[in-house]
Amino acid sequence: MKRASLTSHLGKLPPALALLLLVGTILVGLCFVVVTGFGYLPALGGDTLSLDGFRRLLADPRLTPSLLATLTAGLVATLASFLTALALAARFDPTGENEQGWAHRLAVAVLALPHVALGLGLAFLLMPSGWVMRVVAWTTGLFPVPPDWLLVTDTGGVALALGLFLKETPFLFVATLTALAQLKPAPILLMAQSLGYQNHMAWVKLVLPRLYPIIRFPVLAVLAYSLSVVEMALVLVPGTPPHCRYSSCAGPTIRTWRSGFLPPRRPLCSCCWCHLRSCCG
């Protein structure tokens, strides 16, 4: 009995140890970011806590445009991905009985594509000299020279929102199909149809309220990632003057951190803290 009990405890130790190492590492790094954001940086003489980093952050003229670009791209991409995934699931597998169909396999294949690769591909498609404009110019003769349009790295974050939408829709689609396979809504739809509801109305009114609690965590994960994405932001948002002030928060943050210059670290950590707070709601 004692040997069995000892074995069971040893069997539980490695996962617990791995979880402790993972969470502990994140918490240690987060603590250093927080204390640096509140002014504690002995390398620059900051031996006491202060709000100087937040004051300098609020005085930065790039803050408001960056926050607006981040929130707009993240919220629009998440909402569009969620609605599109629901529409695709209702179209291809409304009853949850065909989870491993061709649409599911195609979405899984798209999931394997790295974010930065999709961002680069989208940039090469949409830039004024990209493939879309080349095809339009070749078929219609409208653009003998590339137009002066800011389709990529636009100041409104449209390209970033589009890239996130294309990448996150397959993820939410797969999550929705998996949830439908657990929910098994076929009897609910049959009952609703017998009461005179059309299929799409029955799906929206009866299936969706039961479906969303299952997929809410994937939706929140997409929202958190869209608000904090780095690699796609470096490709699809402005990174050079004068439009770099309209970049998302991730772009200036990672560029300043990579520079190795210490004085901006305090407002930078304050920005990271505010960014983390916005992602956590």
Per DSSP, the three-state class of 262 is: coil
63-279 maps to CATH 3.40.50.1820: no
| Average pLDDT of the residues in 189-199 | 81
Mean pLDDT of the residues in the chain = 75
- Rounded to the nearest 5 percent, the helix, strand and coil shares of the chain are 75, 0, 25
pLDDT at 256: 59
Q: What angle do CA 20, 25, 31 make, to 5 degrees?
A: 120
Per DSSP, the three-state class of 240 is: coil
Per DSSP, the three-state class of 280 is: coil
Instruction: For the chain, give every domain's residue range.
Output: 12-50, 63-279
Kindly report, residue by residue over 22-38, the tens digit of the pLDDT.
788 878 877 777 777 67
Burial (0-12, 13-18, 19+ Cβ within 10 Å), 161: buried
Q: Please identify which residue in the block is written with the tokens 């989870």.
A: 99
pLDDT at 168: 92
Partners of 41 in beta bridges: 46
**Backbone phi, psi, residue 21, to 5°:** -65, -40
Residue type, 16: A
CB atoms within 10 A of CB 147: 13
- Residue 217, both tokens: 């965590």
pLDDT at 125 exceeding the cut of 80: yes
Distance CA 90, CA 82 (A): 12
With beta carbons less than 8 A apart as the criterion, state whether 236 and 152 touch.
Answer: yes
- Residue 138, both tokens: 């070749």
Q: Please identify which residue in the block is written with the tokens 């609910």.
A: 188
pLDDT at 211 exceeding the cut of 70: yes
Distance CA 57, CA 189 (A): 53
pLDDT at 246: 45
Kindly report, residue by residue over 222-276, the tens digit of the pLDDT.
988 888 887 888 788 765 544 444 456 666 666 656 555 455 555 555 556 565 6
The contacts of residue 50 (CB under 8 Å, 6+ apart) are: 38, 39
pLDDT at 106 exceeding the cut of 90: no
Q: What angle do CA 130, 135, 136 make, to 5 degrees?
A: 100
pLDDT at 119 exceeding the cut of 50: yes
pTM above 0.95, yes or no: no
Torsion-angle region of 190 (φ positive above 0: left; ψ -120 to 50: alpha; else: beta)? alpha
Angle at which helices 2-37 and 265-279 cross, to 10°: 130
